[in-house]
Amino acid sequence: MREELIQILEDYPNQKEREFSGNDLAFYILREARDAVANALPSDLRSAFKINASAGQGTWAEVPWIGIFDREITESAIHGYYIVYLFSANMSAEYLSTNQRWTFFRDTFGPRMAREKISIAATALRRMLADIDDMVEERIDLASGRELGV
């Protein structure tokens, strides 16, 4: 799996300048990198998770990703929370992150309350994961590839 992640970091900036449709790297992310993440899971757990990846839809995404979705919670990045490999826009870093869908909060609570509600949900999720060794509780800036603090 490491090799697939490194290839994305190395090749994405150059490939992003080329046509998206039919691009080998876009296909590689969608299939091979996704499958590498799936194969890294213990075989007895693979059916419990759905792995999805994207380099964009019709055009290159600013930030490609590979998502790991617990089927009991969600099977897409549209609802719920999930684990995702995110790459910084400048391809200087990659992160394994827990994420939740902003549009759900905006559509459910409206633009004014959404930020407060998503913050509450993020705090609760951090508390649930607090006992995991080596867990870093930093916000990340995908534009620069830097941690911003909690």
User: How confident is the model over 54-95, as pLDDT tens digits?
Assistant: 999 999 999 999 999 999 888 887 777 788 999 999 999 888
**Residue 91 included in any domain:** yes
Domain that holds residue 75: 2-100+134-149
25 is a domain residue: yes
106 within a domain of the structure (yes/no): no
pLDDT at 145: 64
Is-contact 53 29, C-beta < 8 A?
Answer: yes
- 50, 37 contact by CB (below 8 A): no
Whether residue 109 lies inside any domain: the answer is: no
* 107 domain-assigned: no
Give domain status of residue 55, yes or no: yes
Domain count, the chain: 1
Whole-prediction pTM: 0.78
Residue 56, domain member (yes or no): yes
Number of Cβ within a 10 Å radius of residue 131: 7
Q: Is residue 113 one of the residues assigned to a domain?
A: no
